[in-house]
Amino acid sequence: MWRRTWIIYRKELIESLRDRRTLIAMLLVPLLLYPVLMIIIIQALQVEKGRRERDVYKIALPNEAHERWLRAILEADTEEEKSRASQTRPAGSIRPDITAQQFRIIVTHRALEDAVRGGDAAVAVQLDPPPGETLDANGENRQAIVYYDPAEYLSEVAFRAFARMLDRHRDRVVLDRLRRVGLTADTLSPLQIVERSVASPQKLGGALLGQILPFLLVVMTATGAIYPAIDLTAGERERGTLETLMVTPVPIAQIVAGKFLVVVTIAILSTLLNLASMGATIRFGGIGQAIAQSAPAAGQIEIPFRVLPIVLVVMVPFAVLFSAVMLAVCSFARTFKEAQNYMTPVIIAAMVPAMLVSYMPSIRLVGAWTVLPVANVVVLLRELFLEHYDVPAMLLAFTATTLYAATAVVIATRLYGQEAVLFSDVGSYKTLLRRRLFRPAPTPSVSTALFLVAVVFPLSFYWQTTFATPAMSAERLRFMTIVLMLACFLAPPIALAWYLKLDPRETFALRPPSSRAMLAAVLIAVAAPILALTLARAQQRLFPPSDEMIRALADQQTLMLELPIGSVLLTFAILPGLCEEVLFRGWLLAGLRNVLHPATRCIIVGLVFGLFHTDLYRILSTSLIGMLLAYVVTASGSLLPAIIIHAGHNGLALLVAKHEPFAHWMGVADDSPAWIVPAAAIVAVIGLALIRSARPPADSAPTA
């Protein structure tokens, strides 16, 4: 089956690589850009350095008394400079300070402000009180009023250097005064600060690169994919070859798969080339030293080359995501030009989060940042450069990106085959979104189903992390949960089902269950929490959670139980039972119905359900429960038993925490009878057998 995808892939890749424009974007730009950029930067720095060393800066003074005062300072500073140069000044510094010899004194009769404003001088100085005829300046304290123009670069530079020179002068005066009263410079430094950096040279390099590299990588990967994405869709249509491809006996999914893989390949190739070229330029081109010297932190800096392979792995799902989004967007375009116009917002959508994150160095890979599209990749890359390896959070970000990528791929496939998109004379793609024109369908398509889940996922996560505060009141937690359930899980699938004219009965499995199924639901609802809690205890023994995690879980539970028990059960058991079932076992399960084998479908629904709980520690148990519930709905043809099991499970788990006797009889207390767990297993098996034998109504037989 995938032979033809491979054929299409090979042909499209050959054709793309024969395209001068792709080659330029993919090969020439990265291979030339960085070295050239580097040469330009180094040259510019050299020129700037030379100018700094040669340039002369004028200082305007109001009269000769000021001139004598300043000349003495300049001479003293030049003397000091000579003795200092050999000791502390790093050789070959890019931004050398302006030396005293570079200042030229002019005496003006104009107002000093005007001298600076008019450009006659870079800075101007007035002493208050003015210096006398004799050089008595050491005796009394004065103010030096320095005029400069911060909007003029040279004036600003001269001012900084001049101010530093006056500082040195002040230090000399202070020393002199100390010496006169018989003291030394040590009097002024009772405490000396000695810096000791704990960062490794690689980490310092990583911190520097982490500021800019993730942004560059994201933009480069996105731009690398643009050209083939347009060429393989809109370009093909414009040249009239699309029809010849579509009349061949190859399913559309395989055609799109072939093209999509080419876009991904080129995106990754271009990332790879960019990385290699950038790495080589930094390593051999001398920019490493340049960065090192401009770095604020003390110490040696090394570029952490060993994280680059991991960076590449992280970039793969990102490249997949962007390739799919671009393919989907380009599928709308009829011409190359039109597609290019559509690309602009996509690129901006990639750049803005990347840029924002780059500007906010305090952001870590926690909470919503792990699941926000694009932003999570940028944060993850930065964490890699900083050698912060929070593996579960990284896996979560990786998985979330993969989920978005998969959704984008499915949508791209679906759009590509649309008649309105294939042939311009068949109508506009605008008709694709008009509700009045929709034909009623029993269930959502796999692309719409996944699309909604991919939208709800970051949304729900974002809501929880932004609304939750460390010291949250029970009422706040309740409010957060109610909004999450109703606005994130319940309303979106119902609204979309209405908009798409889907059959609610089929989409949300709204059939009366058989009495056997109901009995089974009650049995499983009682047995499931016993087994789940036992599983959780076993897991805790095998992989003990951190104390912090135990405390967080306990805190949340204590918090919940502060509320009246009726409210607790309603908010944390019945509501999730209803809303989560509608989304996962209703909407998502129905969407996967026509494309997947029932077993695969249950496993996927379970895994997505587990992922939504974004708690890697509990992902095993939540996924298993998700799979069980999906099986119950598939076998019984009704959502109600799943709602009962879900609500029952949550409710019993809460009661266990609330009441001691419950813990005893649910098998989790230390004195629980040993027979409870096997008994629960037997009850669960009986329940499942009952469900299996309770045949679903004839019309709901899944069409696999």
Partner 1 sequence: MVDVRNLVKVFPTTEGGEKRAVDDVTFHVGRGEIFGLLGPNGAGKTTTLRILSGLISATSGSVRIAGHDVRADRDAAKRAIGYLTASTGLYQRLTPRELLTYFGHLHGLDPADIRGRIDELVDWLDMHEFENLRCGGLSTGQKQRTSIARALIADPPVLILDEPTLGLDVITNRLILEFIRAEGARGKTILLSTHYLDEAETICQRFGLLHEGRLIASDTLDRLQAASGQRRLSDIFLALCGESGPVLVDAAAGPPGGRA
Q: Which is nearer to partner 1, 306 or 436 (CB)?
A: 436
Shortest Cβ 8–partner 1 spacing (Å): 8
Shortest Cβ 256–partner 1 spacing (Å): 14
Sign of CA dihedral 464, 470, 472, 474: positive
Sign of CA dihedral 168, 169, 171, 172: positive
Tokens encoding 568: 């607790």
Interacting residues of 673 by C-beta distance below 8 A, sequence separation 6+: 667
CA distances from 14 to 17, 128, 307, 330, 569 (A): 5, 78, 31, 21, 61
DSSP string, 300-343: -----GGGHHHHHHHHHHHHHHHHHHHHHHHHH-SSHHHHHHHH
CB 13 within 8 A of CB 228: no
DSSP code of residue 555: H
CA distance linking residue 510 with residue 17, whole number of Å:
53
Shortest Cβ 610–partner 1 spacing (Å): 37
Shortest Cβ 427–partner 1 spacing (Å): 5
Shortest Cβ 647–partner 1 spacing (Å): 43
Q: Which is nearer to partner 1, 245 or 624 (CB)?
A: 245
Q: Which is nearer to partner 1, 257 or 282 (CB)?
A: 257
Shortest Cβ 440–partner 1 spacing (Å): 15
CB 60 within 8 A of CB 124: yes
Total Cβ atoms within 10 A of residue 250: 15
Q: Which is nearer to partner 1, 189 or 244 (CB)?
A: 244
Shortest Cβ 703–partner 1 spacing (Å): 14
Q: Which is nearer to partner 1, 77 or 236 (CB)?
A: 236
CA distances from 481 to 25, 485, 568, 581, 610 (A): 48, 6, 11, 15, 17
Q: Which is nearer to partner 1, 429 or 467 (CB)?
A: 429
Q: Which is nearer to partner 1, 4 or 334 (CB)?
A: 4
Q: Which is nearer to partner 1, 257 or 405 (CB)?
A: 257
Shortest Cβ 426–partner 1 spacing (Å): 6
Q: Which is nearer to partner 1, 185 or 437 (CB)?
A: 437
The closest alpha carbon to 508, from 578, 438, 459, 446, belongs to 578
Q: Which is nearer to partner 1, 171 or 243 (CB)?
A: 243
CA distance linking residue 494 with residue 488, whole number of Å:
11
CA distance linking residue 526 with residue 7, whole number of Å:
54
Shortest Cβ 432–partner 1 spacing (Å): 9
Which residue, chain included where needed, has tokens 């931004």? Answer: 95
CA distance linking residue 57 with residue 156, whole number of Å:
11
List, in sequence order, every residue forming a beta bridge with 58; answer none if it has no partner.
104
Shortest Cβ 472–partner 1 spacing (Å): 49
Which residue, chain included where needed, has tokens 């029970």? Answer: 474
Shortest Cβ 441–partner 1 spacing (Å): 15
In 314-430, at which residue ranges do the beta strands (DSSP E only) sit? none
Shortest Cβ 16–partner 1 spacing (Å): 8
Interacting residues of 566 by C-beta distance below 8 A, sequence separation 6+: none
Q: Which is nearer to partner 1, 232 or 589 (CB)?
A: 232
Residues that bind partner 1 (CB under 8 A): 4, 7-8, 11, 14-15, 18-19, 239-241, 243-251, 419, 422-423, 425-428, 430-431, 434, 436-437
Q: Which is nearer to partner 1, 255 or 509 (CB)?
A: 255
CA distance linking residue 94 with residue 294, whole number of Å:
8
Shortest Cβ 252–partner 1 spacing (Å): 10
Q: Which is nearer to partner 1, 1 or 471 (CB)?
A: 1
Task: Say how many CA atoms lie within 13 Å of 672 toward its Cβ.
Answer: 22
Burial (CB < 10 A; 0-12, 13-18, 19+), residue 666, is buried
Sheet of 57-61, strand order: 103-107, 57-61, 123-128, 143-148
Tokens encoding 391: 């593996």
Q: Which is nearer to partner 1, 237 or 478 (CB)?
A: 237
Peptide bond into 442 cis (omega under 30): no
Radius of gyration of the chain (CA): 35
DSSP string, 650-672: HHHHHHHHH-HHHHHHTT-STT-
Interacting residues of 526 by C-beta distance below 8 A, sequence separation 6+: 648, 652, 680, 683
The closest alpha carbon to 144, from 75, 69, 76, belongs to 69
Shortest Cβ 15–partner 1 spacing (Å): 5
CA distance linking residue 558 with residue 268, whole number of Å:
48
CA distance linking residue 95 with residue 103, whole number of Å:
17
Shortest Cβ 265–partner 1 spacing (Å): 17
DSSP code of residue 365: S
Shortest Cβ 315–partner 1 spacing (Å): 28
Q: Which is nearer to partner 1, 416 or 612 (CB)?
A: 416
Q: Which is nearer to partner 1, 348 or 437 (CB)?
A: 437
